[in-house]
Structure 1
Amino acid sequence: MVDEATATHTTVDATVLESSVIDQSLFQKVLRQAGRSLARPALEALEMLLDASTPAQARLTMLAALTYLIMPIDLVPDLIPVAGFSDDLVALTAVVGLWSNHMTPQIRDRARRKLDRWFPVGG
C-alpha cells in the first residue's frame, strides 16, 4: 500500500508521435509475425496433446510441464540465484524431450495450417 503523503513522483518528459509518423501497416505486420513466432510452438504443443498417437503418459507429462512453466508460482522462486531457475529447467527439459520423441510431420502440418488461419501471411 502506498502512503500518498510520502509517495514521490517522477516526472518524465515524452514526445507523443503523430499517427502519421508510424507506418501502421508495417507495425501490424511486425506484430502479426511476432504472434506467429510465439503461436507456432504453442500450436504444435497443443496439436501434440490432442493427437491420438501421442501416448497418454506423454500427454500428461507435457501438460504438467507446460502448465508449470506458465504458472506464476514456482517451487523454487526465480529470485534465488541459479537455483531459482533449476525447477524451470527441469520442466523445460521434459517438454524438449517429449517434443523430440513425439513430434511428427503430421502434427507440425496441422499446427501450421491452424497458424496460417489464425495469423495469415501477408495479410
Structure 2
Amino acid sequence: MAIFNIDYKALRESIFKWSRKAGRTATRPVLLMWYVMKSKDTPRADKWAIFASLAYLILPIDILDSKRLPVIGWLDEVTSLAILVQKMSKYITPEMEIMADVQLDRWFSTGSEYIEYELIEG
C-alpha cells in the first residue's frame, strides 16, 4: 500500500499566492487550518480533510464556476472553508492563532503590496 505525504511547501506557496487576491480577512482561517494541518496533534485523517479543502479553495478548479455564476460560484468555496473551520476548531490553539496573526502581519504589512483595504478620504 502506497503512503502519500502532503507537500506542505507547495501548498504553502499556493496559499501565499491565493492570499494576494483573497485579502487578509479571508486568509486568516486558511492560515489557521494550515497550522492545524501541520500540528503533530492533528490526526492524519483530519490532516487529509484539511489538505483537500484547502487545495479545493486555492486551486483554480471549481465545481460551480464563479465566472458563470458570480455569487453562487463562490458559495461552494466559502461553505467548504466554513465547515472545515467549524469541524477543526477543536484543534486550534492560542499559539496557532498568534502564528497566523504574525504571518498575516508579514504578508499584509503596510509597506508591502498586500494591503487588506484602503481608506479613501473625501
Instruction: Report the TM-score, using the length of structure 1 for normalisation.
Output: 0.50
Bigger Rg, which one? 1
